[in-house]
Structure 1
Amino acid sequence: MKTKLSDYLRPLVAGALLLGNAALIPLASAEVQPLDRVVAIVDNDVIMQSQLEQRIREVQQTIDKRGADAPPMDVLRQQVLERLITENLQLQIGERSGIRISDEELNQAMGTIAQRNNMTLEQFRNALANDGLSLETAREQIRREMIISRVRQRRIAERVQVSDQEVRNFLASDLGKLQLSEEYRLANILIAVPEGADSATIQAAERRANETYEQLQQGANFAQLAVARSASENALEGGEMGWRKAAQLPPPFDSDVRELAVGEFTRPVRTPPGFIILKLLEKRGGDTQVRDEVHVRHILIKPSAIRSNDEARLLVQRLRERIVAGEDFAELAKNFSEDPGSALNGGDLNWIDPAALVPEFREVMANTASGQLSPVFQSPFGWHILEVLGRRATDTSEEFREQQALNLLRNRKYDDELQAWLRQIRDEAYVEIKL
């Protein structure tokens, strides 16, 4: 399926101080120029009025393209400001953690986005211009998105734990047996309930959720209500959640969604974050019984505070040359690879579904013949070389089913952990709003 440009370029435009040159203009003819100002202090950083207004304009453009009506300006401004605060906090965490995105990584990401949209770089630049974005602005947006993605990978992954017993229970359940049958494209509206809320606050949220549900029953636009009312992170995207399997949803949504027809929505359901309404936008069957798998091993070297991006690339290149010269791939992987999941196994990832891999890894693997060593390449995790040991078409073996179950259970927990973590960093941060 073709990836929309907007899927990769969520608005994340940083503002700058608007410095006028009034000192060069005679006082008699000088006009009053509005100065930029701070609208929020967020820990060790600030959000400027120019950032907020720029983001509001971009969100309004997105809403207009969908043919939806924007919420009242005060509601929209609050939604956008909260999004900027959350993003700012994650970027600060990335800065403190030493997460850096090199120009080479950005160039590769830009090329990948253009390729996936069947564009040349020049066509990509023109598409950005049509959306009112310069190439430099797009690069900054992608850089921020990559930093936030890596922050989440590090912080959320350590919070998500799935036991072997959970996997066995899931595979034995009716839902586990059905989990490969269908996928659902969903949207949601979240009416938030703060942690520790009293009964009056909970009842008020429930009334608002029921009012929203009644409006939907009367034909109100789901995406418009999501933008106007939802407290979910994807509210400004009309509540779009993307494709999910039923097993990735927490109860009772895992069973409720299978009863929905396309276009229908659930009643409000109380969950830890608040009251949630789900809408089924589309579904597709999972009738594929045979899967293509690749047996692959790799070596990963990561840039760090003591190793620059170029030094990491050169180290991988030297390791490749040593393998070509006859040294053992597995021994070098054990000694050098910084992928903790595979290094002790000589870099071996075993038989794996290509869909489970990041695009950069998957594309290089697809272009590497069995028994061959790949060129040096980069992914969001660092610099790699890989060797394809074999390819096969296989049915869903027990081992594969267990891995699928593990991934689905992790994804199910990931969404809840992400929302909990975002609330936590927001609650623990010093935020002073100056609107």
Structure 2
Amino acid sequence: MHFKLHRKLIGLCAGLLISTGLQAQMVELDRVAAIVDNDVVMQSQVEERMDTIRQQLSERGTELPPEEVLRTQVIDRLVLESIQLQMGERAGIRIDDASLNQTMQQLAERNGVTLEQFRAALDRDGINYNQAREQVRREMIINRVRQRRVAERIQVSDQEVRNFLNSEVGRYQTAADYRLAMIVLPVSENASSDEARQQAEVVSDIHRELSEGADFTRLAVSRSGGEHALEGGELGWRKAAQLPPTFANAVADLEIGEITAPLRSPAGYHILKLLEKRGGDNLLVDEFNVRHILIKPSEIRSEEEAAQLIGRLYERIRAGESFATLARSFSEDPGSALNGGSLSWVTADAMVPEFREVMTSTPENQISAPFQSQFGWHILQVEGQRQVDMTDEMREQQARNLLQNRKFDEELQTWLLEIRDEAYVEIKS
């Protein structure tokens, strides 16, 4: 009896040892890759993101950078994401499931497929839909953090608008759009002259390699320190007026496929490549006469409570109450609330993407369902639509919006450097 019990104990201990060994192996596989303030980046996150990047680069036919270079780029990206997500959590920014579902639906529609087809396409590519959905949630939070923290640092004066409209770039703002890619060698404001000189030498070497035929996308992935490095440096379409003057002037002289000489900005050194160019000589634009009600989440009102309040206001309007009266009483947009929520005549380009999409798809004299942007929850009413020539007032509005976008892009890079410098970051791998 004693012998049998002893054998059972040995078997139990062996089972515990095996279990402990497996657990140790799992911990080893999912160890901490970086400590970021009150958060950690896990090795599994790094590997998952690296797999995604490898697949994206492979689909583009781009040569993969060395493993350690790719790992460093991915960890840096995840560290910055973690910092911004923690800022979002402290600010009470939440993305509810309804908003996330709506965004996933919009992503599917932009790709010309149904949500079910979108999920099936992700599955075929080996991408878990729920993981993709959570990544979209993270990106939405990060976008709202940036809008709140970076936009508040930006001011555009009337004089800047006038100077811009009188400038060569301002006069030709509708002449062309550019699809650009960029390699960035960041230089912090606190960098020493030696550090700046070293980065200048590196960017000169990269420019020489590109001039000798090196692949821009490959070098952007492996050498660029910009936010779009892992996308091959691609920035997408930009109007000339959205670019800093130095960049706009340099790009204007390029043929498709050519690169600029190294350019200096407050954020560092840059090399731009012109991928495509398209004209924009149609001066007729669509304007919308819009009212809206904005309800913002805050320290005393959660995202869910804001959604519930906008929902109640929507039902009251549908029941016959005056949109303008409710806007004066409830809207938290100080620029329009006193005018019954009226934004007067605006263009689609002047509005944030979520607002623009709902505004352009809402029939005249109709009320939209509640929707969310980085500013909070909205209801809008389209009271009219017209097509007009580019008036002086319209030019000023577009100029202000373009200047804000330009300053946002510049300020974003500076802000990202600042929050990275201020955060406690310990890289473990």
- CA–CA distance in structure 2, aligned partners of residues 328 and 342 of structure 1: 15
Q: Does residue 1:200 correspond to 2:194, yes or no? A: yes
AA aligned opposite 1:33 = Q
- Does the CA contact (< 8 Å) of 2:188 and 2:417 recur in 1? no
> Could you say which residue in structure 1 is the equivalent of 2:72?
78
| 1:367 Cα deviation after fit | 4.1
Distance 1:307 1:417 in 2: 29
Question: CA 1:178–1:52 in 2, change beyond 3 Å: closer, same or farther?
Answer: same
The structural deviation recorded for 1:53 is 1.6
2:350/2:401 contact within 8 Å kept: no
Shift of 1:416: 1.2
1:354-373 map, 5 Å:
354-373=348-367
Q: Does 1:152 align with 2:146?
A: yes
Tell me what 2:253 maps to: 259
Quote the Cα distance in structure 2 between the aligned partners of 1:28 and 1:222. Answer: 49
Q: Report the Cα offset of residue 117 of structure 1.
A: 1.3
- Report what 1:161 is aligned to: 155
Instruction: Say if 2:387 is the partner of 1:383.
Output: no
Distance, in Å, in 2 between the alignment partners of 1:342 and 1:361 is 15
Alpha carbons of structure 1 residues 382 and 317: separation in structure 2 relative to 1, 3 Å: same
Cross-structure match for 1:12:
none
SS of aligned partner of 1:244: strand
- Residues 1:220 and 2:214 aligned together: yes
| Match of residue 126 from structure 2 | 132
Who is 2:267 aligned against?
273
Q: Please give the residue correspondences for 1:304-343 in structure 2 after superposition, counting only pairs within 5 Å.
A: 304-309=298-303, 311-324=305-318, 326-343=320-337
CA distance in 2, matches of 1:424, 1:29: 42
Secondary structure in 2 matching 1:299: strand
Offset of residue 208 of structure 1: 1.4
CA 300–189 in structure 1, closer or farther in 2 if over 3 Å, else same = same
Amino acid at match of 2:38: N
Distance 1:23 1:387, change over 3 A: farther
> CA 1:307 to 1:274, structure 2 compared with 1: closer, same or farther past 3 Å?
closer
In structure 2, how many angstroms separate the alpha carbons of the residues matched to 1:336 and 1:161? 27
Map of 2:423 onto structure 1: 429
- Indicate the residue corresponding to 2:341 in structure 1: 347
Structure 1 residues 196 and 313: CA distance shift in structure 2, 3 A: closer
Match of 2:25 in 1: 33
Deviates further, 394-403 or 205-214: 205-214
Distance 1:116 1:54 in 2: 25
Q: 1:311 to 1:285 in 2, by over 3 A?
A: same
**1:395 and 2:403 equivalent?**
no
Q: Which amino acid aligns with 1:280?
A: L
Query: How far does residue 190 in structure 1 lie from its aligned partner after superposition?
Result: 1.1
Greater CA deviation, 158-167 or 130-139?
Answer: 130-139
**Once the 2 structures are TM-superposed, how far is the Cα of residue 379 of structure 1 from its aligned partner?**
4.1
Give the corresponding residue for 1:59: 53
Equivalent AA in structure 2 for residue 83 of structure 1: R
In 1, distance between residues paired with 2:143 and 2:283?
A: 32
How much has 1:202 moved relative to structure 2? 2.5
The answer as to whether partners of 2:350 and 2:397 remain within 8 angstroms in 1 is no
Q: Distance in 2 between matches of 1:112 and 1:27?
A: 48
Q: Say which is worse superposed, 296-305 or 141-150, in terms of deviation.
A: 296-305
Name which of structure 1's ranges 157-166 and 67-76 shifts more when overlaid on structure 2: 67-76
TM-score relative to the length of structure 2: 0.90
| Pair 1:320–1:48, CA change in 2 (3 A) | closer
Q: Judging changes above 3 Å, is the alpha-carbon distance between structure 1 residues 262 and 173 closer, same or farther for their aligned structure 2 residues?
A: same
Deviation (angstroms), 1:119: 1.3
Instruction: State the shift of 1:55 in Å.
Output: 1.4
Shift in Å, 1:358:
3.9
How far apart in 1 are the matches of 2:47 and 2:415? 27
Alpha-carbon distance between aligned partners in 1 of 2:383 and 2:393, rounded to the nearest angstrom: 19
1:247 equivalent in alignment to 2:241: yes
* Distance of 2:377 and 2:20 partners within structure 1: 58
Question: Which of 394, 406, 410 in structure 2 is aligned with 1:412?
Answer: 406
Q: Does residue 105 in structure 1 map to residue 105 in structure 2? A: no
Structure 1: give runs of 5+ residues left out of the alignment. 1-21
Q: 1:223 corresponds to which letter in structure 2? A: T
Q: SS in structure 2 opposite 1:185?
A: strand
User: Which residue among 182, 185, 205 is the counterpart of 2:176?
Assistant: 182
The Cα offsets for residues 308-364 of structure 1, whole Å up to 9 and x where unpaired, read as 555434433443444455543222211101223322221111111123334443343
Does 2:208 correspond to 1:211? no
Alignment correspondent of 1:191: 185
Does the CA-based 8 Å contact 2:291-2:381 persist in structure 1? yes
* 3-state secondary structure, aligned to 1:33: helix
Q: Which runs of 5+ in 2 are unaligned?
A: 1-12
Larger mean CA deviation between 365-374 and 61-70 belongs to: 365-374
Distance change (3 Å), C-alpha of 1:39 and 1:329 = same
CA RMSD of aligned residues (A): 2.3
Post-superposition offset of 1:173: 1.5
Amino acid at match of 1:112: Q
Larger helix proportion of the pair? 2
Per the TM alignment, residue 152 of structure 1 is displaced from its structure 2 partner at its CA by 0.3
**Hey, what's the Cα distance between the residues in 2 that align with 1:240 and 1:41?**
29
The separation in 2 between residues aligned to 1:207 and 1:402, in whole angstroms, is: 41
Q: Secondary structure at the match of 1:161?
A: coil
Shift in alpha-carbon separation, 1:115–1:79, aligned structure 2, 3 A? same
The 1-side partners of 2:330 and 2:275 are apart by 46
The DSSP-based 3-state class of the residue aligned with 1:241 is: strand
| 1:27 Cα deviation after fit | 4.5
Partner of 1:117: 111
Aligned partner letter, 1:154: R
SS at 1:252 equivalent: helix
Paired amino acid for 2:193: S
Percent of aligned positions that are identical: 59
- Give how far 1:244 is off: 1.2
Secondary structure at the residue paired with 1:232? Answer: coil
AA of the residue aligned to 1:409: L
Amino acid corresponding to residue 208 of structure 1 in structure 2: V
